[in-house]
Amino acid sequence: MTGAIRSKWNNASVRSKMLLAFIIPVILILIVNVYMYISINTMIERVDEIYVANVTLNDLSDDLTFLQNSMREYLESKGTAALNDYYTAEQDYRNGLASLDLKNSGTAVYAMQENIINQSENYLGIAGDTITAKRGRNVEKYKASYEETVELYSDLQNCIYALNSKQFKKNTGDYSILLSSLRNMEIITILILVFIGIVNIVVVYLMTKSMTLPLVDLARAANEVADGNFDVDIATGEGKDEINVVSKAFKQMVESIQRYIAQIRDSVMRESMLKEHELVMENRMKEVQLRSLQAQINPHFLFNTLNAGEQLAMMEGADKTTEFIENMADFFRYNIKKIDNDASIAEEIALVDKYVYILNVRFTGEIHYSKDIDEEVTEVRVPSMILQPIVENAVNYGIRDIDWEGHIDLKIYKDNGYVFLSIRDNGVGMSREQIDRILSGEAFGEVSADHAASNGIGLGNVIERLQIFTGQRDVMEIHSEGEGKGTEFVIKVPMHV
C-alpha cells in the first residue's frame, strides 16, 4: 500500500501536494471543531432548558395565588373587576397547567405533576361552584366551598412547591452532570486537538520535506555547479512533479555541460599535441642544421688557413691562385656568417658566383653559368644559404655526368608580389616521382645522407627553412621535362615577409 501511495504522491504535482498537505489537517481540525461546537451547543441548550421547568412551576404558583386572591376578592366585594380578574387568573392557571411537561411518565416528577393537575381540576371545579354560589347569594354554600378551596389551595401550593424543589434538586444534579460532561469534553477536545496538532506537524513536516528535499538538493547541486564542480550528484526521484522535472532538466544540463567541456578539452589537447609535434619538427631541423655545421671542418680554422694561403699566393705572385683562394675564403666566411641569419638576394647571388667560380676552377670551366637578375629585387631578404645548395644540387646531380656542355642559368624576377628565384640546368633531368619525393620531403634523408659530398645543406633543409621563413608551404617548384632535358628549381618568396 505504501508503495502505491508513494508513487501516487511522487507523481502528484507540487500544487496538489501542497493542497493535500494543507487540506488534510485543516479538514480534520475543522471536523473536530464542528463536533465540539455541535456537542457543546447541544449541552448549552440543555443547560438552558434545565431550569425552564422551575420557572414554569413558579409561574404556576403565582397564577394560583392570584386566582385564589381574586376569588376571595370577588367573594368579599362581588366586584366586576374582581370577577374579571378571577376569570383571567383561571385562564392563566389553566394555561400554566397545560404547559406542564408531561412527557416522562413513570417518574416521581410525572406522578407529582399528575397529582397537581388532578387536584387543580378539583380546585377549579369547587372554585367555580363557589363563584356560582356567591352569584346565587347562597351564602352557606359559598362559605363552605370557600373553606374547601382554601384547603385545596394550600395542598396545591404545597404540592407545587414540593414538585418545584424536587425538579430543582434533579435539575441541579443534571446541571452538575452537564457541567462535568462539558468539562470532560473540554479536556477531551484539548487533548485531541493537541494530539492531532502534534501528528499534524509531523505529517506536514514530512510532506513538505518530501516536497522540498529535491529542491534543497537541487539548490545544493546548483551551488556546487556555480562553484565550478560539475561532477555533482543531483537527486532525481521517480516522481513527475515540477521539482523533479526541473531536477531532471538541471541534471541533463549539467551532463551536457560536462560533455561539452570534455569535447573542448579533447580538442585543446589535440591542438597542443599538434603544436608540440610542430615544435619537435622545428627542433629536429635545428638539430640537423647544428649537426651539419658541427660536422663541417671548423670553418674559422679553414678560413684563416685560406687567408694565409691567399697571402702566400700573393707573395709568390700567383694571381689566379690568389683569386681562387680569396673566393674560397669568401665562400666559407659567408657560410660562417650567414647560416643563422637571413640575407639579401644580392648576397646569395654573390655566394653562387663564388661557388660557380670555385667549381669552374675545380672542373676546369665545364660549367657555363649565366645570370638574369631583376635588380629591383636584389635587396629582398631571404633565408641565407638557399641558392648555393640548389646550384650545388644542379651541379652534382644535373650536369656532372653529362656528355654535353653543362649550363646553369640563374634567373631572378618578380611577379605578383612574389620574387621568383629560378636555377635551371640542362642536365640529366628528373622524373616526376623524384620531384614529388623531394617536394614531399621524403628525399631529405637521401639528400642528407650524401651531404658529406656537399657543403652539408640539403634541399630538404632549404625547403624547410623557406617554409618556416615565409610561413607558407608552397615555396619551391621543380620542373623537369624528362630525362636529359634538364631541371628548373623555382623558389617563391614574398616581396615582404
Partner 1 sequence: MKKSSSEKQFSNKSYAFMIVGTAIMIVAAVVTGIIFSTITRTMQSVEQETATDYDKHYAFIAEDSESDFWQEVFAAANEQAKEYNAYLEDIGTELGRDYSEEELLRIAVNSKLDGIVYSGGSNDRVRKLIDRASDAGIGVVILQNDVETSRRQCYVGLNYYELGQMYALQVEKIVAEGQMQQTKVDILVDGDMSEGASNLIVMAMEDHIRESLGEDMIPEIVVTRIDAEDIFSAEEKIRNIFLEKENLPNIMLCANSVYTRCAYQAVVDYNLVGQIQIVGYFANDTILDAVDKQVIFSTISVDTQEMGKSCIQALFEYNNMGYTNSYLPVGIEVVDQAKAHQMIFEKENKVTEQ
Q: Which residue number, 160 or 438, has a Cβ lying nearer to partner 1?
A: 160
Closer by beta carbon to partner 1, 118 or else 431: 118
Q: Report the C-alpha gap between 135 and 322 in whole angstroms.
A: 195
> Residue 178 Cβ, how far from partner 1 at the closest point, in Å?
6
Candidates 71-79, 233-241, 350-358, 380-388 — which segment interacts with partner 1 by CB under 8 A?
Answer: 233-241
Q: Measured from the CB of residue 27, what is the shortest distance to partner 1 in angstroms?
A: 9
- 3-state SS, residue 418: strand
Least distance between partner 1 and beta carbon 86 (Å):
21
List CB contacts of 295: < 8 A, sequence separation 6 or more. 452, 456
Are 366 and 406 within 8 A, CB to CB? yes
Q: Reduced to 3 states, what is the DSSP secondary structure of residue 403?
A: coil
Binding positions for partner 1, 98-157, rule CB under 8 A? 104-108, 110-112, 114-116, 118-119, 121-123, 151-152, 155
Which C-beta is closer to partner 1: that of 115 or that of 472?
115
491: helix, strand or coil: strand
Contact, 89 vs 70, CB < 8 A? yes
Binding of partner 1 by 192 (CB under 8 A): yes
Binds partner 1 (CB under 8 A): choice among 130, 145, 236, 327? 236
Structure-derived torsion over alpha carbons of residues 170, 175, 180, 184, reported in degrees to the nearest 10 = 120
Beta bridge partners of 488: 424, 479
CB closer to partner 1 out of 207 and 476: 207
How many positions of this chain bind partner 1 (CB under 8 A)?
Answer: 71
Q: Are 425 and 399 in contact (CB under 8 A)?
A: yes
Q: To the nearest whole angstrom, how small is the minimum distance from the Cβ of residue 153 to partner 1? A: 11
Query: Residue 360 corresponds to which cell in the numbers above?
Result: 669552374
Residue 95 CB, nearest distance to partner 1 (Å)? 21
Verify binding: residue 264, partner 1, rule CB under 8 A: no
| DSSP-derived secondary structure for 182-206 | HHHHHHHHHHHHHHHHHHHHHHHHH
The one segment of 58-66, 70-78, 159-167, 325-333 that binds partner 1 by CB under 8 A = 159-167
Q: Residues 189, 181: contact at Cβ < 8 Å?
A: no
**Residue from 159, 293, 373, 402 in contact with partner 1 (CB under 8 A):** 159
190 binds partner 1 (CB under 8 A): no
Interface with partner 1 (CB under 8 A), residue from 11, 39, 99, 258: 39
Residue 16, Cβ density class (10 Å: 0-12 exposed, 13-18 middle, ≥19 buried): middle
Report in angstroms how near the CB of residue 189 gets to partner 1 at its nearest: 7
Per DSSP, helices labelled H in 104-138 are 108-135
Query: Residue 492 corresponds to which cell in the numbers above?
Result: 617563391
Instruction: Determine the Cα–Cα distance for residues 305 and 313; give it in Å rounded to an integer.
Output: 12
CA-nearest of 239, 246, 242, 244 to 11 is 239
- For residues 458 and 318, give the distance between their C-alpha atoms in angstroms, rounded to a whole number: 35
188 part of the interface to partner 1, by CB under 8 A: yes
What's the min distance (Å) between Cβ of 246 and partner 1?
A: 13
Stretch that binds partner 1, among 189-197, 306-314, 359-367, 436-444 (CB under 8 A): 189-197
To partner 1, the closest distance from the beta carbon of 119 in angstroms equals 4
| Binding residue for partner 1, selected from 12, 124, 144, 185, defined by CB under 8 A | 185
Chosen residue from 141, 143, 166, 400 binding partner 1 by CB under 8 A: 166
Cell of 75: 367573594
Quote the least distance from Cβ 383 to partner 1, whole Å: 59
Cβ-based neighbours of 322, under 8 Å, separated by 6 or more: 310, 313, 314
Report if residue 65 touches partner 1, rule: CB under 8 A.
no
Residue 44 or 264 having the CB closest to partner 1: 44
Residues 6+ apart with CB under 8 A from 57: 160, 163, 164, 167
Pick 36 or 144: Cβ nearer partner 1: 36
CA 364 to each of CA 352, 357, 368, 371, 393: distance values in angstroms, whole numbers, following the listed order: 17, 10, 11, 20, 19
Q: Between residues 29 and 373, which has the closer beta carbon with respect to partner 1? A: 29
- Residue with Cβ nearer partner 1 (54 or 296): 54
CB 224 → partner 1: shortest distance, Å?
13
Binder of partner 1 out of 18, 124, 178, 358 (CB under 8 A)? 178
End-to-end CA distance of the chain: 83
- Residues numbered 193-232 forming contacts with partner 1, rule: CB under 8 A: 195-196, 199-200, 202-203, 206-207, 209-210, 213-214, 216-217
Q: Which is nearer to partner 1, 42 or 370 (CB)?
A: 42
In the block, which residue shows the cell 620574387? Answer: 419
Among 100, 131, 163, 380, binds partner 1 (CB under 8 A): 163
Which is closer to partner 1, CB of 195 or CB of 260?
195
In the complex, what is the shortest distance from the CB of residue 29 to partner 1, in angstroms, rounded to a whole number?
8
